[in-house]
C-alpha cells in the first residue's frame, strides 16, 4: 500500500453559501449562511501583489482538500475560526473516486 500524498485534514473550516436578502429599499443584500463545518487540508498555492480597497495587499491562493461532497460550487467560500476567508474558484474530484474534493481558492486580505 502506497502512502497518501495529500496533507492531513487537520484544519477546521466552515463552508458558506451566498444568500440574497431583501435590503428593505427594493434591492438585495448579500449575506452568508453556514452550510457545514468540516475538516480540511490547506496547501498554499501562489501569491501575488496588487491593490485591495486602494491599498497595496498580497493576494494568496490555496488548494483546499476536503472529503468529497457534491454540493460545493465556485460561488461558495470557506471561513476559518481565525476569520480567514477563502473564496472558492473551482472544485473538482481529482481522480473520480468521490473520496476527496480539491478546491482552488483565493484568500481575501484581512
C-alpha to C-alpha distance for 60 and 86, rounded to whole angstroms: 9
Rounded percentage of the chain residues whose pLDDT exceeds 70: 80
Q: Does the pLDDT at position 3 exceed 70? A: no
Write down the pTM of the prediction: 0.80
Q: Does the pLDDT at position 55 exceed 70? A: no
Q: What average pLDDT does range 28-42 have in this prediction?
A: 95
Cα 14 to Cα 9, 17, 46, 79, distances in angstroms? 14, 10, 22, 5
C-alpha to C-alpha distance for 78 and 73, rounded to whole angstroms: 11
Q: Does the pLDDT at position 50 exceed 90? A: no
Amino acid at each position: 500500500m502506497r502512502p497518501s500524498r495529500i496533507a492531513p485534514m487537520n484544519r477546521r473550516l466552515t463552508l458558506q453559501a451566498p444568500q440574497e436578502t431583501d435590503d428593505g429599499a427594493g434591492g438585495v443584500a448579500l449575506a452568508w449562511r453556514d452550510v457545514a463545518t468540516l475538516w480540511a487540508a490547506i496547501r498554499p498555492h501562489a501569491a501575488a501583489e496588487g491593490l485591495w480597497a486602494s491599498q497595496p495587499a498580497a493576494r494568496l491562493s490555496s488548494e483546499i482538500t476536503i472529503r468529497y461532497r457534491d454540493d460545493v460550487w465556485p460561488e461558495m467560500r470557506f471561513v476559518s475560526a481565525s476569520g480567514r476567508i477563502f473564496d472558492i474558484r473551482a472544485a473538482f474530484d481529482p481522480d473520480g473516486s468521490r473520496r476527496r474534493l480539491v478546491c482552488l481558492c483565493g484568500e481575501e486580505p484581512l
